[in-house]
Amino acid sequence: QVQLEESGPGLVKPSETLSLTCSVSGGSVSSGTYCWSWIRQSPGKGLEWIGFSYYSGGTNYNPSLMSRVTISVDTSKNRFSLKLTSVTAADTAVYYCAREGGHRYGLDVWGQGTTVTVSS
Amino acid sequence: IQLTQSPSSLSASVGDRVTITCRASQGISISLTWYQQKPGKAPKLLIYGASTLESGVPPRFSGSGSGTDFTLTIAGLQPEDFATYYCQQLESYPRTFGQGTKLEIK
């Protein structure tokens, strides 16, 4: 079965760029039917959808983050990535990568999550 | 699209039947999913398409609704069901989640 695993720095300085990678195993990121997604959860808070990318490169982002976020898919390494620029303490959260099967199917596979703290 | 879950928290006992409601600010057909999240863990998909049970999810979980009003029902609570539940709409962008319902043991 498909498994996802996030990786990246757990500590990022304010104003710098947060970069995370989600490695896909047990399946191919090149499947045309899935949206490779990022979701975050601030401490003690609910879930916030960041956005997704298709393997073809098409993307959709949350307008609240659109000016700072880039999600991309690397088919050669079977993984996808998140970049969030100009971070502040408000970006401190657990970041999850997930697979969305489309508007009828939801986020059916999730990574375990990785904690990112923004602090100097 | 805003999703409003009620209640925000709920106390119940093992064996109880509980219902959680999710209301959308505009119609979303059946493009609604439910997730269960336990502390320190990623959310787990329970129901998609408003009422279809994800593979491997116990049949005591059920979902219903369409348009703007949806419910998640757990019939016969088990100890492992005490968690936080979220709804999510996938009808339009940005995808949005409800604020969550924390189900606690009475």
pLDDT in tens, A70-89: 999 999 999 999 999 999 99
Share of chain A above pLDDT 70, in %: 100
Q: Does A5 touch chain B (CB under 8 A)?
A: no
What pLDDT does residue A44 have? 86
Q: Does B48 touch chain A (CB under 8 A)?
A: yes
Task: Name the residue of chain A whose CA is nearest to B38's CA.
Answer: A112
pLDDT in tens, B47-65: 999 999 999 999 999 999 9
- DSSP codes of every residue in chain A: --EEEEES-SEE-TTS-EEEEEEEESS-TT-TT-EEEEEEE-TT--EEEEEEE-TTS-EEE-TTTTTTEEEEEETTTTEEEEEE-S--GGG-EEEEEEEE--TTT-EEEE---EEEEE--
Cα–Cα nearest to A79, from A28, A13, A24, A8: A24
Residues of A in contact with B31 (CB under 8 A): 103-104
